[in-house]
């Protein structure tokens, strides 16, 4: 499956990174203690190739985008795309879940299919992107547990919220302001805007 950034096709190398600052200290007895503040964001890094018809839009976007947020479909791993067999529109939250939860109970009645481990998803009431940490099989079972990373960032209400997967899982980002804005011409037809570094808007 091809993914696009401002209309330009994303090419490898492509990096998806989880930024969750973790700190460790050594006690006087040489025990190591590790802790995290519990905050996390996704960061993407990639290059694109622009055709001649895309060059003007690519140049303008690379300069203006540093001043605002942008939106793109969150890229999914090829194996995840191949094994996802449910429509996210049909899967709703059936039990209230609070901030900090590492799993959510979803409806499974009248749903047959699989949401595979490694899927990136969102919930309908907020923009944080989560990763599914174990396969979730829906086989007409009324309650299915969906394990997620990071822990839930917003409360979910039963019967009011659903999941967004696949093309419905959008990544809202800031472009790294350390990126150099501009365009590089490779030949008379293709050009690129250099390495693009995006950080999740959390």
How much is the average pLDDT of 147-164? Answer: 93
How much is the average pLDDT of 145-170? Answer: 92
Q: What is the pLDDT of residues 171-193, one digit of tens each?
A: 999 988 776 556 566 665 566 66
Q: What is the pLDDT of residues 103-139, one digit of tens each?
A: 999 987 677 788 999 999 999 999 999 999 999 988 7
Q: 78-168 has which fold?
A: Elongation Factor Tu (Ef-tu); domain 3 (2.40.30)
Label residue 19 left, alpha or beta by phi (over 0 means left) and psi (-120 to 50 means alpha). Answer: beta
In the chain the first and final C-alpha atoms are separated, in Å, by: 27
Tokens of 79: 């194996």
Q: What is the DSSP letter of 61?
A: H
What are the domain boundaries of the chain? 4-21+40-73+171-200, 78-168
Contact between 132 and 119 under an 8 Å Cβ cutoff? The reply is yes
Rounded to two decimals, what is the model's pTM? 0.84
């Amino acid at each position: 499956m091809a993914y696009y950034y401002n209309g330009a096709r994303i090419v490898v190398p492509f990096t998806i990174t989880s930024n969750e600052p973790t700190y460790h200290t050594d006690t006087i007895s040489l025990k190591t203690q590790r802790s995290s503040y519990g905050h996390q964001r996704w960061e993407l890094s990639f290059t694109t190739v622009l055709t001649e018809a895309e060059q003007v839009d690519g140049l303008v976007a690379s300069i203006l985008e540093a001043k605002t947020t942008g939106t793109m479909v969150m890229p999914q791993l090829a194996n995840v795309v191949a094994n996802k067999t449910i429509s996210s529109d049909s899967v709703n939250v059936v039990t209230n879940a609070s901030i900090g939860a590492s799993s959510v109970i979803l409806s499974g009645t009248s749903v047959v299919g699989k949401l595979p481990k490694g899927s990136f998803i969102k919930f309908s009431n907020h923009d944080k992107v989560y990763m599914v940490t174990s396969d979730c099989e829906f086989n007409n079972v009324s309650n299915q547990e969906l394990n997620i990373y990071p822990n839930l960032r917003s409360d979910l209400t039963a019967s009011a919220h659903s999941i967004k997967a696949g093309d419905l899982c959008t990544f809202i980002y800031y472009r790294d302001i350390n990126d150099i804005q501009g365009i590089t011409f490779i030949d008379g037809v293709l050009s690129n805007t250099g390495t693009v570094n995006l950080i999740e808007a959390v």
